[in-house]
Structure 1
Amino acid sequence: MADTNGNGRNVIIFVADGLRNGSVNPIDTPTLYSVRQQGVSFANSHSLFPTFTTPNASAIATGHYLGDTGDFSNTIYTGFPSPNANGTVTPFIENDAVLGDIDEKFPGNNFLDEESLLAYARSQGFNTAAVGKLGPVAIQDVTQVNREGGTTGTIPTPDTIIIDDTTNGATPPPTAAGSPSGVPLDPDIVARLQAAGLDVKPTPRVQPAGNNTTPGTLNANVAQQQYFADATTKVILPKFQEDGKPFALVYWSRDPDGTQHNQGDSLNTLTPGINGSTSKAGVKNADDNLKQLLDYLKSTGLDKTTDVFITADHGFSTISKQAIDSQGTKTTSYAATQTYAGVNLGFLPAGFVAIDLAHDLGLPLYDPNPTTLPPDLNQIQYATVDATKGQRPISGNGVIGGTGKVINGQLDPGTKIVVAANGGSDLIYLPNGNADLAKQVVNLLSQKDYISGIFVDDAYGDIPGALPLSAIRLKGDAKTPVPSIVINFKTFSTDPSNPNNPQAQVEIADTTLQQGQGMHGSFGRGDTFNNMEAIGPDFKQGYVDYAPVSNADVTPTLARILGLDIPSNGDLKGRAITEALVGGPDVVFQR
């Protein structure tokens, strides 16, 4: 069996955000392909549903399923207005300041309520670092972005080195509360960055998304990620070597995700979708970053003591805003019959679920995402949304019923429904826990032509047309509000010769992005079939693992290698992938 005492062992988790398993080949990704051949290839890997970044970041960080971490999607209902998200109760949490807002409300200032690999390794004397994409990087050691004095305070210098988009006050600018939004750096790291010829502020990402008449970006996120790769190989890893202590490091490549989301190769058309040249450049960008890290390990001899686990938080799909199947059948959604600025006629607008439910129930709809910070977070009036007047929720989220007011820091108790729009799936909350309303909403949703799966909180019992959240491990020990209903949108293929080809998957998506751009979040195999592989002294060579493996299995496996017994609160835990380790069994799953 692999070395389990942790002596001299280091681990790196490399996350290529949004990298589909089928995108790895010897032409576009020679480094990833080489690792797949030389190390362990996980042929039956999967992302956790909902297949979004922060939920899977929480699983990668802690080894727990989402029912325990409470990180149910990139946009969640928190139950309180977030100061660093303009007072919304449905914040987008790929943001360090917002993560700090949420942490403050939960025990131990840790909304995940689980210990992460980096946090526990740090407590055991390891050097730790997380580098790359804003949001999931901080989630790897989430208490490190908590603020002194609460949400309006400043972030102390973390013990884990955190370098993301906002480090040291880089964009975005200071929060409306007046505090710096960035994570500070230790003076030693600042000096090392400067000595390496690097700015103390990461290179900004410049990838415009375009709109329904203007294509998005035609460039991968090369400059920003080159900064992150240089900071890792020229500053962080050399420091760790000098210190002579074991280390655990997470490198989170925003590409290919950021490029696939915003690519301008396929405006309003389903092909090439996310399979065009710009998306391929994003895939190559991630591969180049990995090569730089592996080359450094080999040149310094660290490859002899360092295990590298490569994964993707999710796969990807091309967005459809009108067609619901491969035959081109158009949605009959009420929301798609209305006219909105910036939305093509007959297309689904962002917020179509909230619009449709409000219409069907005859209830008022409010937009819980203010464009500016209200003067008093305890008393807020959210704007009314009237689809018949061309109005739609700015981010797709919706508050349905009641007055749309926040009273004494809480939503109006008359509120019936909160919709958190996310992309290939949406979360629906019933703040009053009304079982009859849950049945009514499920019945309405089951009639929508854009929905293919409905999951309901076990607390409501059996509801026809829905499965329980526990069936997909979304019901556990979570401290955040648990969604009452989770809906999955339809997926289909643009490949007539192979309707099951994950690389050709298209999905209905509740998003502000355009048809033809990229999204994820669904239960379709295009979104769940992520790329996973591993290499290093404790992993087998040239081994193909056909057993099911998920992102919740990464930390248990690396903890086994490092000899760490990470404490747990919840019971929804991944497994150590023992068959992939030197000395492990040949198979644990028979094809």
Structure 2
Amino acid sequence: MAIIVCGGSNLTSSPSRLIRAQHMIPCSSTVRRSALVITPARCISNLRRSFPSTFSVPLMRYKTGSRILPSASGLASGILRPLPISSVMLYRQLVPSAVGISGAARTVAVDMNRNIDNVVRCGAPSGRALPKLWNLRNLRPHMSRKYCTSLSMLAVVFSLHATGFPADPPKSERRVVIVVWDGMRPDFVSEQNTPALWKLARGGVIFRNHHAVYPSATMVNGTALVTGIYPGKNGIIANHVYRPEIDPHHAVDVELPPTVKKGDEVSRGKYISVPTIAELVQRARGRTVIAAAKSVGLLLDRQSDVGTAKNCVTLFAGNAGLRARSGAPDSIPAEIVPSITATLGPFPSGHLQQDAWTTKALTDCFWKDGVPALSVLWLGEPDLTQHESAPGSPASIAAIKSSDENLAAVLSALDQRDARGRTDVFVVSDHGFSTIERSVDLRKILNDAGFIAKTEFNDQPKPGEIMLAGNGGSVLFYVTGHDETVTRRLVEFLQQSDFAGVIFTKEPMEGTFALGQATIQNPHGPDVEMAFRWNDSKNKFGVPGMIDADWQRKAGEGTHVTLSRFDMHNILIAAGPDFRHGEVDDLPTGNTDLAPTILRVLGITAPQKMDGRILSEAVVNGEPATAGLKPETKTIEATKDFPAGRWRQSLRISRVGSTIYHDEGNGTFTPK
């Protein structure tokens, strides 16, 4: 947002002078996006006549000596207060306060040498340098002194990262860094496997009872992590979904750019229905950087407002096949990729190498000019390797050690910039992991049983046909026309199978849970969702957690997305100036808790209540929001009797206040 204060006939009586002023002050593009122009009423006609497109924004009229908005404190805090105006005091009262200089202002322009002293004396923070202070005469040395003097009432231009006046700018010195280890199980954190993480944990807080949201999938948990909202309300309910308004023939990958673009088109920009923390930080005039070695990065910062996202970057891996051919990831804005590849070389092909490249992009490129208010580094490991070789394999252990090395590089970069003392670091995983005991070809099984089940519609689907959206450890079933008879028959078939774990349904059905019990109720949700069965036996590497899974991977490989305790429990460690030292938090926590906690340490108020809670018990001098609260844990069950036996499923749920966490769920059919 550009705030332009101008007055006096010297400036506006001559359009040529104003044109030259616009060239001298680096705000013309910003003005075209949005601006608040404060000017005497007599000058408005000149402004509109000279700049019909640039000054198409509302102009605030004032008379010299009257009271206008905003004040210096208003610029810093977002609270608009009346301000007495006079030509003598204009500079002193419109230059932002110390908070504004350090946390909000990106450009301060002052027109004459003698006014720089006023700015420093009245507005600059004690002992701190102004971020940028320009004498307008120095911007264009060839301009005459007479011309510079004629700009005596063009007082202050601020280029802010906001389209309005946010109520809560972030704490000027505080920084937050989130490092995501995709698919990291808590039982693999050790001094031997993860020395950097182990050391960080000893100086911070270990959240020993941390949870993913269900479905325990990357895109679902990535979105929940940055919104603080359950999947059913934020709109991302699975990695793969069937949305006929997006693609009538196939289930779609929710994070791919064509899907996101089409999703925004059909939802009027609400593909993700709530803002992410990156967007909220941007609205509060903070800079953000997302660097993801996986395609989930596109969901972490929607950059829905070009004005607030200025100087903010999102780097993410595109479709694997396209990435392999192009040798580069995708980014917003797109033009940053060439400069990164010029520095780091092309995006490599190996999983570990991709993580290292992405880490260097963050520390060496995006942090070159300082650590922003919010940074997110999403590592693809150990998830990608565990999918190929199962948890506990030598390759998976090597991948975990690689992620630890990347964390060490991030911490070292903070140390080199003398930023550790003002940076809170979160290390979190999106979900846990399991080993596939059996791969289940559901399409074949259902078709053999008389259903019409497909993973692709070649033509217009007929009533009763079923679209399968496989997600590894869970499958979503979409019944064309929501045919009640077919849906009921499908549910009863699954209940009598030897692979179903927990079944959720859109409409109430005996022996099932409602989608809302899993916080995945949504207008675009499936008619039926099934999590596969699991057990706690060990794989060949001695790691517990075996599951049945869909047709996409074979037995012996790894995957997740069931309600197994090994999929639903993941890691969270937080360390930094806002967190207690050397403590263990045994209260239930979850990925939805990160967003409200991060906003709290940054001093930003969320625009709406989040489903997650602030982790007050772990914050230094935090309000005891959980004081006296005891976690409640209960197990719900659903059963259905058949002539051949009984179906029984259960779901264990923990609760702290109004926030719920899914511990585990399973089911079985017991023959008579």
Inter-partner Cα distance in structure 2 for 1:466 and 1:145: 42
Residues 455 and 468 in structure 2, CA contact (< 8 A), matched pair in contact too? no
Deviates more, 1:300-309 or 1:516-525: 300-309
- 1:486 alignment counterpart: 529
Deviates more, 1:39-48 or 1:487-496: 487-496
User: Alpha-carbon deviation of 1:587?
Assistant: 5.5
Inter-partner Cα distance in structure 1 for 2:340 and 2:453: 52
Structure 1 counterpart of 2:229, from 47, 53, 64 = 64
Deviations 1:108-144 (A, max 9, x none): 2x31111000112112211111112332111101356
Inter-partner Cα distance in structure 1 for 2:329 and 2:261: 10
Residue 312 of structure 2 corresponds to residue 160 of structure 1: yes
Residue 345 of structure 2 corresponds to residue 234 of structure 1: no
Deviations 1:502-522 (A, max 9, x none): 941011010422211110001
Q: 1:366 to 1:528 in 2, by over 3 A?
A: closer
> Structure 1 stretches of 5 or more lacking a match?
147-156, 175-179, 207-220, 264-272, 322-347, 369-380, 383-404, 407-411
Residue 243 of structure 2 corresponds to residue 97 of structure 1: no
Q: 1:234 to 1:193 in 2, by over 3 A?
A: farther
Structure 2 letter corresponding to 1:45: H
Residues 14 and 308 in structure 1, CA contact (< 8 A), matched pair in contact too? yes
User: Alpha-carbon deviation of 1:258?
Assistant: 0.5
Q: 1:310 to 1:450 in 2, by over 3 A?
A: same
Q: 1:413 to 1:183 in 2, by over 3 A?
A: farther
- 1:202 alignment counterpart: 347
Residues 60 and 553 in structure 1, CA contact (< 8 A), matched pair in contact too? yes
Structure 2 letter corresponding to 1:536: G
User: Alpha-carbon deviation of 1:4?
Assistant: 9.8
Structure 2 letter corresponding to 1:356: I
SS at match of 1:238: coil
Inter-partner Cα distance in structure 1 for 2:498 and 2:415: 53
User: Alpha-carbon deviation of 1:439?
Assistant: 2.4
Deviates more, 1:310-319 or 1:181-190: 181-190
Residues 433 and 567 in structure 2, CA contact (< 8 A), matched pair in contact too? yes
SS at match of 2:172: coil
Higher RCO structure (Cα 8 Å, ≥6 apart): 1
- 2:433 alignment counterpart: 316
SS at match of 2:366: helix
Structure 1 counterpart of 2:570, from 508, 522, 530 = 530
User: How do residues 45-56 of structure 1 correspond to structure 2 at under 5 angstroms?
Assistant: 45-56=210-221
Inter-partner Cα distance in structure 2 for 1:79 and 1:588: 48
Inter-partner Cα distance in structure 1 for 2:288 and 2:610: 25
SS at match of 2:177: strand
- 1:25 alignment counterpart: 190
- 2:145 alignment counterpart: none
User: Alpha-carbon deviation of 1:172?
Assistant: 5.2
Inter-partner Cα distance in structure 2 for 1:286 and 1:502: 22
Structure 1 counterpart of 2:288, from 123, 128, 136 = 128
Residues 314 and 528 in structure 1, CA contact (< 8 A), matched pair in contact too? yes
Deviations 1:42-98 (A, max 9, x none): 01001111100000011011110011122111111112354xxxx743012342333
Residue 223 of structure 2 corresponds to residue 183 of structure 1: no
Deviations 1:187-242 (A, max 9, x none): 57744663xx313x4223x3xxxxxxxxxxxxxx221111111111111112335x
The number of equivalent residue pairs is: 458
Using structure 2 for the length normalisation, give the TM-score: 0.64
SS at match of 2:370: helix
Deviations 1:13-59 (A, max 9, x none): 11100000111000011111112221010010011111000000110
Residue 348 of structure 2 corresponds to residue 222 of structure 1: no
SS at match of 1:566: coil
Residue 296 of structure 2 corresponds to residue 247 of structure 1: no
User: Alpha-carbon deviation of 1:454?
Assistant: 0.8
Q: 1:134 to 1:514 in 2, by over 3 A?
A: same
Deviations 1:253-276 (A, max 9, x none): 00000010112xxxxxxxxx4211
Using structure 1 for the length normalisation, give the TM-score: 0.72
What root-mean-square deviation, in Å, do the aligned CA atoms of Structure 1 and Structure 2 show?
3.0
Inter-partner Cα distance in structure 1 for 2:629 and 2:188: 25
Q: 1:229 to 1:423 in 2, by over 3 A?
A: same
Q: 1:557 to 1:482 in 2, by over 3 A?
A: same
Inter-partner Cα distance in structure 1 for 2:258 and 2:246: 13
Inter-partner Cα distance in structure 2 for 1:56 and 1:536: 24
Inter-partner Cα distance in structure 1 for 2:187 and 2:202: 14
User: Alpha-carbon deviation of 1:184?
Assistant: 5.2
Deviations 1:299-357 (A, max 9, x none): 21111111111111000001112xxxxxxxxxxxxxxxxxxxxxxxxxx45xx223323
Inter-partner Cα distance in structure 2 for 1:292 and 1:93: 31
- 1:366 alignment counterpart: 454
- 1:36 alignment counterpart: 201
User: Alpha-carbon deviation of 1:170?
Assistant: 6.6
Structure 1 counterpart of 2:424, from 266, 282, 307 = 307
User: Alpha-carbon deviation of 1:11?
Assistant: 0.9
SS at match of 1:494: strand
Inter-partner Cα distance in structure 1 for 2:574 and 2:556: 32
Structure 2 counterpart of 1:171, from 323, 327, 332 = 323
Residues 435 and 547 in structure 2, CA contact (< 8 A), matched pair in contact too? yes
User: How do residues 374-389 of structure 1 correspond to structure 2 at under 5 angstroms?
Assistant: 382=458
Structure 2 letter corresponding to 1:258: L
Structure 1 letter corresponding to 2:463: G
Residue 584 of structure 2 corresponds to residue 539 of structure 1: no
User: Alpha-carbon deviation of 1:249?
Assistant: 1.2
Structure 1 letter corresponding to 2:387: H
- 2:607 alignment counterpart: 567
Residues 295 and 317 in structure 2, CA contact (< 8 A), matched pair in contact too? no
Residue 620 of structure 2 corresponds to residue 582 of structure 1: yes
- 2:59 alignment counterpart: none
Q: 1:23 to 1:88 in 2, by over 3 A?
A: farther
Deviates more, 1:304-313 or 1:50-59: 304-313
Residues 219 and 254 in structure 2, CA contact (< 8 A), matched pair in contact too? yes
Inter-partner Cα distance in structure 2 for 1:189 and 1:182: 7
Residues 386 and 558 in structure 2, CA contact (< 8 A), matched pair in contact too? yes
Residues 490 and 508 in structure 1, CA contact (< 8 A), matched pair in contact too? yes
Structure that is richer in strand per residue: 2
Report the structure number with the largest CA radius of gyration: 2
Residues 291 and 376 in structure 2, CA contact (< 8 A), matched pair in contact too? yes
Residues 425 and 487 in structure 1, CA contact (< 8 A), matched pair in contact too? yes
Residue 276 of structure 2 corresponds to residue 116 of structure 1: yes
SS at match of 2:266: coil
User: How do residues 416-431 of structure 1 correspond to structure 2 at under 5 angstroms?
Assistant: 416-431=465-480
- 2:402 alignment counterpart: 285
Between the aligned residues of both structures, percent identity stands at 26
Inter-partner Cα distance in structure 1 for 2:432 and 2:569: 6
User: Alpha-carbon deviation of 1:159?
Assistant: 5.5
User: Alpha-carbon deviation of 1:181?
Assistant: 8.9
Residues 99 and 145 in structure 1, CA contact (< 8 A), matched pair in contact too? no
Structure 1 letter corresponding to 2:379: S
